[in-house]
């Protein structure tokens, strides 16, 4: 699975995710990637792209939960994403990338690793696996 | 706080001893895609254009599980899916079950912009792709020797595998609970 989230200097957000699914999956099986609110979601507050074990991500409505925690509980992007990855999604199944309208970035995961990279206007860049 | 971008190439049970010949090409691609996205944001492209641009590049890289390099179904076929969403309008597009479309993410965007729907799948999505004239290839274009091998391993173990599991998920076994020492993901 691959994904990208971006916010421009006006605070406009977008999310995109694409995948081949699971090895040896049944023909016709749909994962979290194309399900709005599970593997992919964006609104005026944040943009989220998730990856990992699709069935667990769908059950936990991962992407929408991050946005909802920010919208209804006033959590920061990092707090919301950390809560969803550490408390909602089963351990070892989920990673996500997210940006907020104010230019925050977070890339938490509860698997062994996640191929990821990010950059912000104030000069921070990161590229990591584990 | 200004612009920001993040991208991923999949999560899972990525072994710490991943050999350099598998780790480095992925890191090179992530670095290239990050720079491409940053340059597009600096050029004031819309976030929608930026995320589509970056995911297209990742789809075209055979080291990632999307587009070329997609993992295989139990029938040894490729079924690709993608989704794109614009935060301002909440417009979104999604596709599933693609077998010939080179960039699923661009077809998802066309679903969002050229149809009254959000989601097209399987033969309907393939027909829409032809109607829109997006680039398509023979399904064999997307199949790599490495993924044929991975399917073989998964079949021998009668399991399904997430992006990077070294130990596939047993089909009949539910993943260990949250406090389990999960090797899944």
What ipTM does this complex have? Answer: 0.98
Query: Is A61 in the active site?
Result: no
Looking at residue B67, its pLDDT comes to: 98
Nearest to B68 by CA among B138, B20, B13: B138
Q: Does B67 touch chain A (CB under 8 A)?
A: yes
Interface contact A53-B169, CB threshold 8 A = yes
With beta carbons under 8 A apart, name residues in chain B contacting A24: 72-74, 151, 154-155, 159-161, 168
Over residues B151-173, the mean pLDDT reads 69
- Any chain A CB within 8 A of the CB of B16? yes
The predicted pLDDT at position B158 comes to 79
What is the dihedral angle through the alpha carbons of B88, A10, A114, A111, rounded to the nearest 10 degrees? -60
Q: Hey, are the CB atoms on B162 and A53 less than 8 Å from each other?
A: yes
Which residues 73-102 in chain A show a CB within 8 A of chain B?
90-99, 101-102
Strand B159-160, strand A40-42: pairing: unpaired
Q: Which of A15-19, B34-38, B115-119, B164-168 has the lowest mean pLDDT?
A: B164-168
Q: How many contacts, defined by CB atoms under 8 Å, are there between A and B?
A: 367
- Taking alpha carbons only, the member of A24, A86, A54 closest to residue B10 is A54
Task: Compute the nearest-CA separation of A45 from chain B (Å).
Answer: 8
- pLDDT averages per 10-residue partition of chain A, 130 residues: 98 98 97 98 98 97 98 98 98 98 98 98 97
- Structure-token match 């925690």, residue found: A69
Condensed to tens digits (0 to 9), the pLDDT of residues B55-83 reads: 999 999 999 999 999 999 999 999 999 99
Report the first-to-last Cα separation within chain B, whole angstroms: 33
Q: Is B44 exposed, middle or buried (0-12, 13-18, 19+ CB in 10 A)?
A: exposed
Q: In whole numbers, what is the pLDDT of chain B averaged over residues?
A: 90
Mean local confidence (pLDDT), B18-28? 96
Q: How far is A110 from chain B (nearest CA, A)?
A: 8
- Output the pLDDT for position A4: 99
Under the banding of pLDDT at 50, 70 and 90, the label for residue B165 is low
Q: Which of B59, B85, B119 has its CB closest to that of A18? A: B59
The span from the CA of A53 to the CA of B161, in Å, is: 9
Q: Which residues on chain B are in Cβ contact (under 8 Å) with A34?
A: 81-83, 94-96, 108, 119
């Amino acid at each position: 699975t691959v994904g990208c989230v971006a916010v421009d200097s006006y605070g406009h957000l977008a999310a995109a995710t694409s995948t081949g699914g699971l090895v040896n999956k049944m023909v016709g099986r749909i994962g979290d990637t194309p399900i709005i609110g599970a593997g992919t979601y964006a609104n005026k507050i944040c943009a989220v792209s998730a990856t990992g074990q699709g069935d667990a991500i769908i059950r936990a409505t991962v992407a929408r939960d991050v946005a909802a925690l920010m919208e209804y509980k006033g959590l920061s992007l990092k707090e919301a994403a950390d809560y969803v990855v550490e408390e909602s999604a089963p351990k070892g199944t989920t990673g996500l990338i997210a940006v907020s309208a104010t230019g925050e970035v977070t890339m938490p995961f509860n698997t062994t690793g996640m191929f990821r990279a990010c950059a912000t206007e104030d000069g921070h860049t990161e590229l990591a696996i584990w | 706080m200004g612009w920001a971008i993040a991208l991923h190439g999949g999560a899972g049970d990525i072994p710490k001893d991943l050999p350099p010949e598998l780790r480095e090409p992925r890191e090179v691609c992530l670095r290239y895609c990050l720079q491409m996205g940053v340059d597009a944001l600096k050029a004031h492209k819309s976030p929608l254009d930026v995320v589509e641009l970056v995911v297209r590049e990742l789809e075209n890289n055979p080291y990632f599980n999307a587009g070329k390099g997609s993992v295989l179904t139990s029938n040894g076929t490729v079924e690709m899916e993608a989704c794109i969403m614009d935060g301002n309008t909440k417009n979104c597009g999604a596709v599933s079950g693609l077998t010939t479309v080179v960039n699923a993410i661009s077809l998802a965007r066309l679903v969002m912009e050229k149809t009254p729907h959000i989601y097209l799948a399987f033969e309907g999505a393939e027909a829409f792709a032809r109607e829109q004239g997006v680039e398509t290839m023979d399904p064999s274009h997307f199949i790599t020797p490495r993924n044929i091998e991975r399917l073989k391993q998964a079949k021998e173990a009668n399991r399904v595998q997430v992006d990077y599991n070294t130990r596939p998920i047993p089909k009949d076994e539910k993943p260990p609970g949250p406090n389990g020492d999960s090797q899944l993901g």
